[in-house]
Chains A and B, each alone.
Chain A
Amino acid sequence: MTEKTATVAARIADELASCGVKLVASLPDNWLMDVIKTIEHDVRFTHVPVNREESAIGLCSGAYMGAMGSAALMGASGFMTVIYALTKINYTYEIPLFLMATLRGAVGDHHKHHISNGLYLRPVLDAISMPYQIIEKPDDLGLISRCYHHTRTFSRPMVVLFTRDLLRGGH
């Protein structure tokens, strides 16, 4: 963890805490490891590593029905597996959900196998009419709490997408 990535991870944690998030359910993505480690060691959160991304959707949705703030953290590939859970649980019952994911496959990604996410992640989000917010710079991390509030105001899911430059310090 570099000083730069540690600062970003800490600011993400602070944003979540400022929204009242207590539960963070996660599956790893290499870009997210500093964020996950930071949250895991932060006493403001209960961090639950889950077995698959859909479990995070179920867990966070249930937490909402108990008035606990939550966030689901995952990679772009993982996000692509949760369309069923999101559209069934969160759309059917109008249960808000806040997600954070990686903008894999975009310019700057070093891994060519993420081409599918580069091509289809945003079109899939558009296809299910799910709002998203790309965050590229540390100065924009305040958008996390704005987007979280949006999910609660409109009883809808929303995802924040982090770029590699943001999470890996632009190298």
Chain B
Amino acid sequence: MNYVECFRAIARHRTDEIVITSAGNSGQAWWAATRDSVASFYLDASMSLSTMFASGLALAQPDLKIWAFMGDGAFAMNPGMLMVERQMNLPNLTHFLVSNRVYGATSNAGLPNAAHNDYAAIARAFGLERVFAFRDLATLERDFPALKTANAPGHTFVVLEVEPFSDAEQKLEQPPFDGPELKFRFGRHVESLTGCDIFGYRI
């Protein structure tokens, strides 16, 4: 699948999900697909921690549905995160592993053991049960509603097999936000959805 087209397809299926993207190409692709500036947190300043960040948010706000994207380059740096995710087993968290088989953000540099890594099998070996894998857009369009099933028990893990960014795609705009601006845009949105108070901390 083309990376950006895959993200556009997922965006078409999105309803009220909150999105966390990772360091790498996923922030660029999600920004290109959605131009979302409030309900997505572009966690570009983080290698391998987008799903941990998403897990903390999902734990804190169980009524929000959280989608977290992570490249397989980031996954390679911290695969043990799946142990934590399985242990927490949050039903409102979906972990999208974007498998382009390269370190996409660094000019598609080589990823260790790229040809042989079976991410779905790794997830199952950690005990995850709701594991999906998509290799083409037609199947993604057809089967995506199944993974969004309401009240599905436990954490969901989705492997997206995509092509690395082309040279032109590497030049896609990065989400144009400074860190604190992103924090407040996103946080105010979470506050408005849930009624929680993130920024009003008083001693």
Where the two chains meet, the residues of A that have a C-beta atom closer than 8 Å to any C-beta of B are 22-23, 46, 48-52, 54-55, 57-68, 70, 84-85, 88-89, 92-95, 149, 152-153
Contact = CB atoms under 8 A, between A and B. Distances in A.
A94 B61 contact: no
**What is the interface of chain B mostly: helix, strand, loop, or mixed?**
helix
A76 B156 CA distance: 34
Given A51-B83, A55-B78, A94-B180, A67 B60 contact: yes
Contacts of B49: 54-55, 57-58, 61, 85, 89
Contacts of A67: 60-61, 190-191, 194, 196-198
Nearest to B50: A58
Contacts of B41: 65
B46 A52 contact: no
A84 B43 contact: no
A134 B5 CA distance: 52
Interface stretch (B51-59, B109-117, B127-135, B161-169): B51-59
A2 B183 CA distance: 44
A66 B53 CA distance: 10
B45 A65 contact: no
> Which range contains the number of B residues in contact with the other chain?
35 or more
11 contacts: A58-B46, A58-B49, A62-B53, A63-B59, A65-B56, A65-B198, A67-B190, A67-B198, A68-B60, A84-B47, A94-B180
B52 A65 contact: no
A83 to B, nearest CB: 13
Contact of B56 (A68, A88, A92, A153): A68
Contact of A50 (B53, B84, B194, B197): B84
Scoring B43, B56, B186 by chain A CB atoms within 10 A of each residue's CB, the highest score goes to B56
A136 to B, nearest CB: 24
Contacts of B34: none
A22 B61 CA distance: 12
Nearest to B42: A93
A85 B48 CA distance: 9
